Amino acid sequence: MNNPKAEALRAKLDVGRPALAMAAHNPLAAKLAAEAGFDAIWGSGFELSASYAVPDASILPMGTHLEMMRAIGEVQQAPVIADIDTGFGNAVNVAYAVPRYAAAGVAAVVMEDKTFPKDSSLRPGGRQELLPVGEFQGKIEAAKAAGDMLVIARTEALIAGLGLEEALRRGAAYAEAGADAVLIHSKQKSPDEILAFCRAWPGRVPLVLVPTSYPQLSFADVAALGEVGLIICGNHAIRAAVGAMRDVFRRILADGGIAAVEADIASVADVFALQGDAHMRQIEKAYLR
C-alpha cells in the first residue's frame, strides 16, 4: 500500500487500545479534533448534511462530500475516514468514487449495506432495506480493487431487526470479501446487542463501533472486549456546534448586546490562529516586495 495515511490508520487499529476518531463537518472542526488529540477524523455524511441543513438521505452530491474530505485532510495530519454511505450506488459507482477519495488523501472509506439512496440509521422510522450479501460483497471487492486505502464494511443488520446471527453472518461475509474492518451499529439505548455481537465475533478483522446511542459504554469498556480496533464519535462536532451557537444567539438577543457572551466564546485571536494567520504573515514578510 502506497498511502501513508492508510498505513498510519491501519497501525492504529489495535484491539487492545482502540483508535479514537472524532466526527467533523468542515476543516475547522477537523483541525480542532486533531488538536484535541484524536487519532483520526470521521468525515461524517450526517454532519455534512446537517451543516447544509438537509436530511442525511443521499441528497448532497458526491462531489460536495469529496471536496470536503480533501479540505479536511489539507489542514491537519490525522487520517481521514470518509463516510461514503452506500457508495453512491452500485459496485460501478463505488469503483468510480473510491479512486477519487484516494486521490484526495483519504485513508479509509466506510460503506454500509443498505440500498441507495440511504436513510439515516438513527432517524425514527427510517427505511432499513439491506442489500443481498453477495451484492454488497461485490461493492467491497470493487472498492478494494479501485483504491489504495482501507475499506470498512458497515452492516445495518441489527438496526433492520434481522438479529444477531444475521449480523454475524454478514460481518463474516464482508471480511471474507476483503473488508479491513467491520462496523456494527445499533440504535438501542443499551449496549447489550452490541456487546453480544462483539463477544460472538470470530475475530477475522477488527470491529468498529459508533456508540452514539449507548454513550454509557466507555472507551475502556470497549477495549476490554478485545475485538474493537476503532471507536467513532459519530456526530458530536455538529451537536456541539448547534448547542453552542443556539445558546449564544439566544443570550445575545435576551441581553440586548454581545458583552455578556464575550467571556464564553473563543477570542478573535484564537480564530486567527486556527486560520493560520501567522503563517500568512510570514509569507507576506518573506515574499511581498
Catalytic residues: 56
Q: How far is CA 212 from CA 144, 185, 218, 229, in A?
A: 28, 9, 11, 17
Using DSSP, state whether 245 is helix, strand or coil. Answer: helix
Residue 73 main-chain phi, psi, to 5 deg? -70, -25
- Close Cβ partners of 174 (under 8 Å, ≥ 6 residues apart): 113, 136, 137, 140, 153, 155, 182
**Considering all CA atoms of the chain, what is the largest pairwise distance in Å, rounded to the nearest integer?**
69
Q: How would DSSP label each residue in 20-89?
A: EEEEESSHHHHHHHHHHT-SEEEE-HHHHHHHTTS-SSS-S-HHHHHHHHHHHHHH--SPEEEE-TTTTS
Residue 180 main-chain phi, psi, to 5 deg? -80, -20
Q: Rounded CA gap, 137 and 51, in Å?
A: 32
Nearest CA to 158 out of 145, 148, 168, 143 is that of: 168
Nearest CA to 85 out of 104, 111, 63 is that of: 111
Q: In this structure, what C-alpha cell is assigned to residue 66?
A: 469529496
Scanning the chain, the segments in alpha helix (DSSP H) are 4-12, 27-36, 45-51, 62-75, 91-103, 133-146, 164-176, 192-200, 219-225, 236-255, 268-275, 277-287
User: Is the separation of the CB atoms in 88 and 80 below 8 Å?
Assistant: no
